Structure formats: structure tokens, C-alpha cells
Amino acid sequence: MANVVVIGAGFAGHTAALYLGHHLGKKHNVTVINKYDYFTYVPSLVWVGVGHMPPEKTGIPLAPVYRRMHIHFVHGKAVELHPEAEEQFVVAERADGRRERVPYDYLIIATGPKLNYAATPGLGPHGGYTYSICTRQDAVHTRDAYLELVQRMEKGERVKIVVGTGHPGSTCQGASVEYISNIHKDLVKRGVRDKADLVYLSNEPALGDFGIRGTKARAKGRLITSQEFMEAIFREFGIHWEVQKGVYKVEPGIIYWEDYEGNYGETEFDFAMLVPQFLGNRMEVKGPAGEDLSDRVFNKGGFVLVDAIYGLPYERLEKNPDAWPSVYQNPYYTNIFAAGIAFAPPGPISVPHTTPNGTNITAAPPRTGMTSGIIGRVVALNVIDLVKKGRMTHSERMSEMFTACIASMGDSLWDGSAAVVLTHPVVPDFRRYPNEEGRDLFVTHMEIGLSGAWMKRLIHTTFMYKYRGYPFWQIIPE
């Protein structure tokens, strides 16, 4: 009987758990360790942040799902890993403070991001001066502050709202684009749009880069870039954009940044939602004598080392799609896997930039949402293979992966809209697609409209069904 442990229950971890429970749960021991006792459908937090969706509609209690799937659930945090013990185990610290040893034969680390607000002084909702929609609690806090701001506007006050990235190495620009677009639509409906200046502030080299080097696709019968696509939307919405800027400090009402040319500047605000740098959730890795083995599992950023080619300069990385991992397996401990944001990428997808002052302003590669779910499935199916067959049969690199990004720009099913961007592959492959984008221009597509708003809401409903593990959940693609 095999012991399989999953650490984390976000998109990657919960997806992996569902497959593991379905295939192994009745005959083997499957355990999930997660610091929250619920799953959060993070893409819908953008609606929570403007007061258009109750927070409870974005969450699913985990314990009932795992009982049905024959999965043991530990509500707590993994704090130690012992990969060289005679019986390998994880130490979990439960929510009530008790510690528990959880043995494993196979381990999947899918801990999601550590929100590194501390890397930018003054950033974040916890002792800082900005807000966040990265967690359910933070989205509720942001909603309350936003609605207070709306009340000031309804009394005639003019305000400046800034949304974007709060660190030179941030990712998740898509969430910021969604949030500022939903703010625009909400203010229009409330009749106070003329009382707000909206500014999108980002570390991207160009609007529409999204940390994936942008893309080019057919929209309305012609080839356009994602930069042209997003600029047209923002011009229509009256949103000003400032890109190529890395935020290094926030004070009350002032964001300090450095731009690509090494110039320093400021952006004032009355309300700001800035996404922090994402790090991995590094934990202690101990040997039999208590020695520190962390560097065999994690890199300095806390991400899990996997079967990628690390250390390549960007000029070689962009020409080698095989540098990206295919099975997400740790090279030192081959029974340890990583999924979603937890795995260490070989480098950025977007073109990196270092300022004359030595500051690296580069959008980090996104590994959230659909990408996380796909990787969670691949890793789970390989663990199932190893348990049942002794060999792995599944693989999928991000340089082979298709992804769909549906960015809400107003949630109404009557007059809302969403930008739909289909990209294949996520990481450009210039060998297979020898065009200037390195992507399949027949598949890659962009459009915006009401149908996108319906699709966004349908996906929310469908995935909340899937992640409850209801009948036929597995036919709903990641």
C-alpha cells in the first residue's frame, strides 16, 4: 500500500488530489495537507474585490470533498520534510498547534505562492498602504476599502486609483488588468466614473505582455499584437497605463518606482491594489542527523527544483523549449514532484531587463490557473503510474501547453464583457513555430465581447462543480 502526500490545495494541489483520490483512494493512503480548510477559486476574487460576488461563493470546504474521494485531510501547514529517513515523512503543524508525522512514498509539493509583501517596503494590506486580491480575506478587505472610496466619490470627491504590480519581479498582471477593468465598469454603473483617474502601473515591457512575452493573434480578421489589443481596450475605458516600472517603496498616497532607463519617479494614489512578488513556500528539509538538505529540494526563491535546465542565459533559454520541465520531478529525490507556482522555472518567458542602476525589472513567468491545473493533472497521473506500473507515461512542458486566459471586464451577463486570449504554446517554441512569436498563429486568438462575460461566469460555475468532485468531474478539462 502506497502513501501519497500532497502539500497544498490550490489549483495544482487540489486537481492532483482529485485524480489521486479517484484512482488510488480506495486501495492506497492519499493525504492532503493545506493551511486552509477550503479551496478558493482565485480568478473570481476580482469580483469579490468590487463587491459583485459574496466571498463564500468562491470557496469550497475541503473535508467533505476528500471524504468522498477517500482522502485523508490535514488542516495545517507542512513545516519539515525528511526525505532521507528510513520512512520518509512530512511534519505538519495542524491549525490547533499539534504536530503530526505524515509518511510518504510519493510527495507532491503544490504550495502556491508566498506573497512577499516585505520585499517592497510599505506594500500590502498587512501593515502597508496598498490592497490585494490574492487571497479571499484580502479581497474582502479590499472590497470594503473600495466601497468606502466609492462613497467619497458619490459625495463629489475626485480620486486616483492605481492598480498593477508592486515589485520589479511581480507576476499576475492579468489579475490587475481584470481588477482595474471591473473597477471601471462598476464606476460607470454607479455614475461616478468621471470622479476617478484610473492608472495601470506594471513591470511589463509593454502593455499586454502578461509575463509571457506578449503574443500575436487574429482578432476581427487581422493579425494584431496583444499590446495593440490591450491598448485599444484601455483607451476605450479611459485607463492610463504606465509600464516598464518596478515599484521599490510605498508610502501613504505615494508609490515610488524605477523605470527601464534607471529614472526614479513617483505615482500618487488615493487607493492602490498592487500584486506583490511571488516566492515559493520553502520549508525545512532535514537529513537523518538533522543536517540541512534544503538546497537539494528548493532554490533560493523557495521554489522546488525539477527536471528543468537551469542556469541558461536568456538568449539560449528562448531557443531551447526543452529547458522547461516535462514531468516536474525533483532530480535529487525522484519521488518528490512539484506543481503549479511551486516549481522552479528555468527563467523568465518575457525578455528580461536590467536598468543602468542594476535593478532587474522583469515580469516573472505565470504558473497559475489553467497552467497550474494542467501540471497538477500531469504530476498526479505520473504518481498513479508509478504506484500501479512502476514507470511514468505522462509529460507536458509549458512550451507545449495550451492556455486560455479570460479576463473579466465587467461581470454583468447583459452588458459586461471579457477579453479572451488563447495562447499555444505558453512558452514560445521557435523551433516548431519559426515565426516572430514562436507560437501557433492558427490557434492563438484574441477577442473581447459579451460572450466572454458569459464564458467567464460559466467557467466559474463549471469549475466550482469540478472541484467539489461531483459525478463526471474528470470530463471537465483543467
Residues designated catalytic: 172, 405
Q: Which grid cell is 26?
A: 480506495
Outline where DSSP puts E strands in 41-104.
Answer: 59-61, 72-82, 89-94, 99-103
d(CA 110, CA 376): 8
Strand-pairing partners, residue 335, are none
d(CA 186, CA 183): 5
d(CA 172, CA 183): 17
- Per-residue b/e over 44-60, b at no fewer than 16 CB within 10 Å? bbbbbbbebbebeebbb
Q: Which candidate, 337, 335, 347, places its Cα nearest to that of 301?
A: 347
Q: Which grid cell is 69?
A: 474521494
- Per-residue b/e over 379-391, b at no fewer than 16 CB within 10 Å? bbbbbbebbeeee
DSSP code of 117? Answer: G
- How far, CA to CA in Å, does 14 sit from each of 306, 376, 385, 470? 20, 8, 18, 14
Inter-residue contact 396 to 380 (CB < 8 Å): no
